[in-house]
Amino acid sequence: MTRSAMNPVAFLTRRRGGKGWHWTDVVTFGWLALSLVMIFGPALWLLLSSFKTPAQLAEFPPTILPYAAQTATVETKTGPKALPLYTVELPDGSSAVMAELNRVGIMANMVRPEAPDDPVKVNINARKPLREVAFATDNYTTPLKQFDFARYLRNSVFVTTMATIITLITNSMAAFALSKYEFRGRNGVMMVIVATLMIPLSVNLVPLYSVVSSLGLMNNLWGVILPTVATPTGVFMLRQYMLTIPDELIEAARMDNASEWQIYWRIVLPLTAPALAVLAIFSVVWRWNDFLWPLIVLSRKELFTLQVGLNTYAGELNVQWQFILAMTVVSIIPVLIVFVFLQRFITAGIAGTGLK
Amino acid sequence: MKRAYLRGTAIAAALSFATGAYAADEVRIMWYSDGNEGEVVADLLKKFEEQNPDIKVTLDNVSYQVIKEQLPITLEAGDGPDIARVTDLKALADHWLDLTPYLADKAYWDANYGEQADWMRPDGSQAITGFMTQITLTGAFANKTLFDQAGVALPAAGSTWDQWVEAAAQVAQSQQSPAAFAMDRSGHRMSAPILNYGANYIGQDGMPAPVDAGAKAFLTELVGWTEGGQNLKDVWVSAAGASYRAAAEDFINAQIPLYFSGSWQISNFSTKIGDTFDWVAVGNPCGPDGCSGIPGGAGLVAVKYTKNPEAVGKVMDYLASEPVMREFTQRSLFIPSNAAIRAAGDLKYETADPQVQPALDAFNADVKNLSPEANALPAWKWASAYYTALVTRTGQAMAGEMSLDDAFARMDSDIAEQVAQAGQ
Amino acid sequence: MTMQGEAPAGAGNPAPQQAPARRSIGAVLAAPVGLLAHLLDGPMRFWQRLAGRGGMIAFFLLPNMAVFALFVIVPLGINVAYSLSGGTQLFLPSRSFVGPENFARLLTCDNHLAPATCRDDLFWIAVWNTVRFVALQVVVLVAVAMTTALILNRSIRARGFWRAVFFFPVLLSPVVVGLIWKWIFQRQGLLNWLMVEMGLDPVNWLTDRTWAYVFSVGISVWAHAGFYALILLAGLQAIPRHIYEAAEMDRTSPARAFRRITLPLLWPNLLVVIVLALIRAVQVFDEVYVLTGGGPGTSTMYLTQYIYETGFASTLRNPGVAAAASLMMGGVLVVLTLAQIALTRWRDRQ
């Protein structure tokens, strides 16, 4: 069944082998629909929330779209002012749109915008704010103006690129040695590499800190980059892929007087391209998302990566959620771009890599 | 001629490169913010740089997590910024620089910041290591509009916890709030009522005393209020261990009539509540033994490992000076730490919000009610061990994971483990 | 194969099906790398003559293993030293040797099944929470990944699109995952709003032990299932079609075909998935920490959180105990992994 030949109607009504609806078709359809909602629904909710004002974020029940109070310009004694509008239930049972002059306790002084000299006292329970859809873009612009955003971005890009390049080079060299040569201790090296998967960073912070600090790499972008480049996953994945490259190719090259270095970069590396692409994409995403480690290594603002810089809104006593949400969205955008443009490489690459 | 000139500049460039590029002394300040104080201090530092072109001050705005988790290990490595804004002042006191030889007027510091000097120096030391950027004080806030709507009068000054909770519960019932009150998940906060119930943390020898009858009395009440639904459960059970959680969002959203937190919330409320409802600072509800709050705050301290102690001294002198502190306090809506400013009592806070000044005045007045026990806590090095145990175990008791008696026993053993650990 | 062509690194690709434009981008990117590698030809040949093939192996391994030794093995050694020393200091020379005291503190229990009887009750609470988490999470994760892979392996329309959909959460950082779901499960979140809209009473999800546990499993499955689904999909696609066609002719039911054909042939991939899922499940931390903070009470406090808070994040650090706990966790993981691999070997031999 080719993808291009089918229109949506045909898709919706298509059945397994054309023999009527089979239960597996129902499951397929249901699963895909549910997944779409479950995967993008929450992310969409975060996006919409990031455009809400702090007061609106705390509101329950929440609204789907961000709203702001509608205002009207009213001539007051002290000149024209933009005042919030409410729908007020008047004592005679009618309702009217009125602006609030001020509020004292539970009573508010309200006026009709067209008759500003005739205030009425209204209980605040007898009115509802009049609102309109409005995106609180302040959540984005305020932090972006306050920060040296361009510098954080540059640092993040530098860390991500350098870490990825070094990861690709060192991991592929090690994987080449571990897959194409027989030598004593090979299994031992593999075991050590796999075993290091067992200790996550969050439990190894303090020892790693002592190492990086004694190397003088604190407050240095290389202190962020280097500890991450020897990923066991990368070596493991590339090695598995290289094992599928036939040894005859390499033997033939040796006959042609190729050096081992040439075999590595002219034969094995090009043939490993799909797996390298997958590792590259993973590395970019991992390094971009890194948070805890850069936070520990970098304490000077000119060195902050995006993830560290965006976190300064978490104070001791107060967290400014409206900024945190907006900045989270900002930090996802590059990942989304990777996702949209490279998803074919990622998914096809993993499929090709096999990871068997 | 031209060639000589070129060679000269080349040598100069090479030299300046070798000596670190800056002719000026550089001073780095690590600073975290709860509100706008980062912007305020940045403005103030700009003026300092204009007056002192030979000193370059860099303000590194970081999250509190950096101050709490990264700074201590950096300091232990003998590294760090030149100046830092820190809350864990006593525990890290060994790393602070004695500024005394670098200050222009030591007497000024003693007079205005001497009261809190012990909070930030090792026991027995006479060093001046820095000053508090502000004093904070625990205290309660009431949503007056909710009280009005429910037709319940605000309990008068000097009312007890029982009276406050009772009144707030009436409001909650009438206004269908999810709870009567909320208290931050914090050992510092809960210690205010605990001390007012007659507890004492500090033993004769300065070491932690076992959890006593006063503490047990309040904790029993607090856990009872949580089980009974008066205390907002979310805040306390939504984390394990000693993690801090604030209940400010629920108060801002008019979900709870009474909120026990502290003076630092004022600027937060002002920006987020605005005119939505009337809120008032009502001080510390009383216990049988008093109505004291617990003081606290963030201190700006100089770090021992600085390479430019003279420049650091100048920056600290500037920031601690009366006009600078006055501007800082007025713009960031804090309680002043400077004794002269507090005594003058003439601060004009820069805000358009009419609710702010009375709230700050209420806290400023409440500073006088501080009990000696409460005043001793910030300068006591075991305070965080005590707080950690209290919060961790109370949280578990509230979640129904352990009985109160088990919780009390665990608090004692947790503190004992910590003391033993530190002695190793 | 000749070595003379100036072809860029991508030219050896045996499947030249990419669009010309895309290849040229690849060529541009590869050119500097290719040039550098080319320039290294001479020195490398010299080094090979000098050190022999063994020297070349060492050369290929060196960069990676050096980084590895420095940033993985050395910290591990430091961790061992921590675990045998006491005090609150972070730097080794200032710590005192206490022998197995830290392990003893963690392991002393009257009854290991009842954390309340242990000297360090929080550690054992975390241990049993983690066991409970792993038991459910790995099963659900593998089931979801398998279902997804089977469905993506069918001839559905826009398969590339759907593969990408499932991969989206994998790209998000754990902190973002936690944040996204916090905004849904909190008392005033989206889920409670939906409850109200449907006429139900809102539930305080994150203060309920059972729900918090279920959601902690749920979000970690949400975040990782796509990755494992793609590994399984790769395995499924390697199974020759004609086997299924033969089965269909024999009127084998899909369920039977799955049990008899798919499962045995997919076993190598499934093993990788189970091992990786298990390792990652035992290490669960960030996303759950952001969502529940370990609460309510301590019911979603897992091992990594215990270690992180004990050794690093709390005001009163205890690096010795944290190191001891992390070494024990690593040890258990190594044993589990080896056991799984041994089990498979034994099964294959049968």
* pLDDT, tens digit (0-9, with 9 covering 90-100), for A193-244: 877 777 777 778 888 988 998 898 989 999 999 998 878 888 988 888 898 8
CA distances from B53 to A237, B25, B45, B57, B103 (A): 56, 10, 12, 10, 19
- CB-CB neighbors (< 8 A) of C294 in chain B: 239-241, 243
CB contact under 8 A, A315 and B32: yes
Q: Give the tens place of pLDDT for each residue, A235-284.
A: 988 888 898 889 999 999 989 888 888 899 888 988 888 888 888 888 88
Chains with 3 or more CB pairs under 8 A to chain A: B, C
E-strand spans in B175-325? 181-183, 258-262, 279-283, 295-296, 299-302
B65, B86, B249: which to substitute to probe chain A, counting the most A Cβ within 10 Å?
A: B65
For residues B379 and B119, the answer to whether their CB atoms sit within 8 Å is yes
Q: How many CB atoms lie within 10 A of CB A86?
A: 24
Distance separating alpha carbons of residues A271 and A268, to the nearest angstrom: 5
Q: How many CB pairs under 8 A join A and C?
A: 292
Backbone angles phi, psi at C89, to 5 degrees: -70, 150
What is the pLDDT at residue A11? 43
Q: Do A27 and C322 touch (CB under 8 A)?
A: no
Count other Cβ atoms within 10 Å, centred on residue A7: 8
Chain A CB contacts of C333 under 8 Å are 198
Higher pLDDT, B42 or A67: B42
ipTM over 0.90 threshold: no
* B38-to-A323, B42, B59, B312 alpha-carbon distances in Å: 15, 6, 9, 19
Work out the angle at residue C49's Cα, subtended by the Cα atoms of residues C47 and C53, and round it to the nearest 5 degrees: 85
Contact at CB, A105 and B148, closer than 8 angstroms: yes
- Return d(Cα B234, Cα B182) in angstroms, integer: 9
Q: Which positions in chain A touch B149 (Cβ < 8 Å)?
A: 106, 124-125
| pLDDT over threshold 50, residue C3 | no
Which residue, B332, B343, B217, B358, is CA-closest to B279? B358
DSSP assignment string, C115-169: GGGBTTHHHHHHHHHHHHHHHHHHHHHHHHHHHHHHHHTS--TTHHHHHHHHHGG
**Which CATH architecture best describes the domain C120-317?**
Orthogonal Bundle (1.10)
In whole angstroms, what is the distance from residue C60 CA to residue C174 CA? 34
Chain A residue closest in CA terms to C324: A203
Dihedral class, residue C258 (left if φ above 0, else alpha if ψ from -120 to 50, else beta): alpha
Set of chain A residues whose Cβ sits within 8 Å of the Cβ of B244:
316-317
> Strand B25-31 vs strand B55-61: parallel, antiparallel, or unpaired?
parallel
Rounded to whole angstroms, the Cα distance separating B80 from B122 reads 19
Q: How far apart are the CA of B186 and the nearest CA of chain A, in angstroms?
A: 10
Phi and psi at residue C210, in whole multiples of 5°?
-65, -45
B176, two tokens: 């269908």
Closest CA to A245 of A274, A275, A271: A271
Q: Where are the beta strands (DSSP E) in B170-278?
A: 181-183, 258-262
What pLDDT score was predicted for residue A14? 45
Interface list for A 283-312 with C (CB within 8 A): 285, 289, 291, 307
Residues 6+ apart with CB under 8 A from C50: none
Question: Taking a C-beta distance cutoff of 8 angstroms, is the pair B60, A299 a contact?
Answer: yes
Q: Does A68 touch chain C (CB under 8 A)?
A: no
Out of C2, C73, C175, the one facing A256 most closely (by C-beta) is: C2
Cβ atoms within 10 Å of A79's Cβ, excluding its own: 6
Residue of B nearest to A125 (CA): B149
**Token pair listed for B61:** 């705005």
Model confidence band, residue A22 (pLDDT cutoffs 50, 70, 90): confident
- Top residue of C97, C185, C207 to mutate, by most chain B CBs within 10 Å, is C207
Rounded to a whole number of angstroms, the distance from the CA of A217 to the nearest CA of chain B is 12
What distance, in Å, lies between the first and last C-alpha atoms of chain B?
69
Tell me the C-alpha distance between C17 and C189, whole Å.
Answer: 48
Which pair of structure tokens corresponds to residue B8? 């000269």
* Cβ–Cβ below 8 Å for A103 and B62: no
Q: Strands C85-86 and C96-97: what pairing?
A: antiparallel
- What is the tens place of the pLDDT at every residue in C203-216? 889 889 999 999 99
Q: What percent of chain C has pLDDT over 70?
A: 91
424 residues of chain B, pLDDT tens digit each? 444 444 444 444 444 444 444 457 899 999 998 888 998 999 999 999 999 999 999 999 888 888 988 898 889 888 899 999 999 899 899 999 999 999 999 999 999 999 999 999 999 999 999 999 999 999 999 999 999 999 999 999 899 999 999 999 999 999 888 899 999 999 999 999 999 999 999 999 999 999 999 999 999 999 999 999 999 998 998 888 888 888 888 898 888 999 999 999 998 898 888 888 899 999 999 999 999 999 999 999 999 999 999 999 999 999 999 999 999 999 999 999 999 998 888 888 988 888 999 999 999 889 888 999 999 999 998 998 999 999 999 999 999 999 999 999 999 999 998 898 888 7
Q: State the best of A318, A320, A324 to mutate against chain B, taking most chain B CBs within 10 Å.
A: A318
The phi-psi region of residue B232 (left if phi > 0; otherwise alpha if psi is between -120 and 50; otherwise beta) is beta
Distance CA A147, CA A142 (A): 9
- How many Cβ atoms from other residues are within 10 Å of residue A325's Cβ? 24
Integer angstrom CA distances of residue B149 from B176, B276, B278: 12, 14, 11
**Which C residues 93-152 touch B at CB under 8 Å?**
96, 98, 105, 116, 121-122
C70 touches chain A (CB under 8 A): yes
* A199 to C330: CB separation less than 8 angstroms, yes or no: yes
Query: What distance in Å separates the CA atoms of residue A276 and residue C112, rounded to the nearest whole number?
Result: 46
Binary contact (B401, C299; C-beta < 8 A)? yes
The C-alpha of A245 sits at a distance from chain B's nearest C-alpha, in angstroms, of 46
Among B233, B242, B245, select the one facing C314 at the smallest CB separation: B242
Does C328 have pLDDT greater than 60?
A: yes
Contact A106 B276 (CB under 8 A): no
A contact residues 151-170, partner C, Cβ 8 Å cutoff: 169-170
Contacts of B142 (CB under 8 A, 6+ apart): B154, B168, B257, B258, B259, B279, B280, B282
Residue A56 is encoded by which pair of tokens? 């609106």
> At a CB cut-off of 8 Å and minimum separation 6, what does B115 contact?
B339
Q: Report all structural domains of chain B as residue ranges with CATH numbers, in order of start.
A: 23-135+297-344 (3.40.190.10), 137-295+361-423 (3.40.190.10)
- B63, B73, B188, B251: best to mutate for the A interface, most A CBs within 10 A: B63
Three-state DSSP at B20 gives coil
Tokens 């089918």 sit at which residue?
A6
The reply to whether residue B400 touches residue C204, judged by beta carbons under 8 angstroms, is no
DSSP E strand stretches across A203-287: none
Contact B401 C314 (CB under 8 A): no
Nearest CB to C314; choose among B241, B401, B422: B241
Share of chain C above pLDDT 90, in %: 35
Touching partners of B (3+ C-beta pairs < 8 Å): A, C
Name the residue with tokens 């045996």.
C14
Partner residue opposite C293 with nearest CB, options B91, B243, B421: B243
Residues from chain B contacting residue A300 (CB–CB below 8 Å): 28, 58, 60
**Least Cα separation, residue B70 to chain C (angstroms):** 9
Name the burial class of residue C330, with classes exposed (0-12), middle (13-18) and buried (19+) by CB atoms within 10 angstroms of its CB.
buried
Q: How far is B205 from chain A (nearest CA, A)?
A: 32
Half-sphere exposure of C301 (CA within 13 A, CB side): 27
> What are the residues whose beta carbons fall under 8 Å from the beta carbon of A140, sequence distance 6 or more?
A50, A326, A329, A330
State mean pLDDT over C205-231: 92
Enumerate residues 6+ apart whose C-beta is below 8 A from A48: A64, A65, A66
Q: Give backbone dihedrals phi and psi of C166, rounded to 5 degrees, phi first.
A: -70, -20
A61 SS3 class: coil
C260 CB within 8 Å of a chain B CB: no
**pLDDT value of residue B41:** 96
Q: How close, in Å, is residue A337 to chain B by CA atoms? A: 28
Query: Mean pLDDT across the stretch C84-90?
Result: 86
pTM of the model: 0.86
Query: Tens digits of per-residue pLDDT, C184-201?
Result: 998 888 999 899 889 888
Query: Containing H/E element for B314?
Result: helix B309-320
B370 phi-psi bin (left φ>0, alpha ψ -120 to 50, beta other): beta
Place of tokens 């309660």: B140
- Give burial (CB, 10 Å; 0-12/13-18/19+) of A209: buried
Could A55 and B34 be called an inter-chain contact, meaning their C-beta atoms sit closer than 8 Å? no
Beta bridge partners of A68: A132
Cβ pair A74, A136 in contact under 8 A: no
Q: C196: which chain A residues are within 8 Å (Cβ-Cβ)?
A: 61
Q: Which residue of C has its CA nearest to A338?
A: C171
Instruction: Say what the pLDDT of residue A58 is.
Output: 73
Instruction: Give the nearest chain C residue to A340 (CA atoms).
Output: C164
Distance separating alpha carbons of residues C5 and C117, to the nearest angstrom:
73
In degrees and rounded to multiples of 5, residue A101 shows phi and psi of -80, -50
Q: Which of A205, A350, A356 sits opposite C312 (nearest CB)?
A: A205
For the segment A332-350, the average pLDDT, to the nearest whole number, is: 72
Q: Could you give the count of Cα atoms lying within 13 Å of C22 in the half-sphere of its Cβ?
A: 8
Please report which confidence band the pLDDT of residue A87 belongs to, taking 50, 70 and 90 as the band edges.
Answer: confident
* Beta carbons of B33 and A312 less than 8 Å apart: yes
- What's the length of chain C? 350
CB distance from C295 to chain B under 8 Å?
Answer: yes
DSSP label at residue B290: B
Cα A250 from Cα A267, distance rounded (Å): 8
More confident residue, C2 or B118: B118
CB contact under 8 Å between B233 and C300, yes or no, is: no
Integer Cα distance of C67 and C63 in angstroms: 6
Which pLDDT score is estimated for A317?
63
Cβ–Cβ < 8 Å for B57, B48: yes
Encode pLDDT of C136-192 as tens digits: 999 999 999 999 999 988 877 887 788 888 888 988 888 889 989 988 998 888 999
Contacts of B242 in chain C (CB under 8 A): 309, 314-315
CB contacts of A317 in chain B (<8 Å) are 34, 244, 246, 262, 264-265, 268
What pLDDT sits at residue C275?
A: 86
The minimal CB distance from C60 to the residues A43, A49, A264 is found for: A264
Which of these, A80, A79, A63, lies nearest to A71 by C-alpha position? A80
pLDDT value of position C29 = 60
The alpha carbons of chain A give a radius of gyration, in whole angstroms, of: 30
**Minimal Cβ distance to A299: which of B60, B244, B262:** B60
Model confidence band, residue C4 (pLDDT cutoffs 50, 70, 90)? very low
* Contacts with C121 from chain B: Cβ below 8 Å: 410
For C280-304, what is each residue's pLDDT tens digit?
Answer: 899 898 889 989 989 898 999 999 9
Most confident by average pLDDT, A49-58, A176-185, C13-22:
A176-185
- Indicate the pLDDT class of residue A19, thresholds 50, 70 and 90: low
- Tell me how far apart the alpha carbons of residues C60 and C64 are, in angstroms, rounded to a whole number: 8
Query: What was the pLDDT predicted at A159?
Result: 95
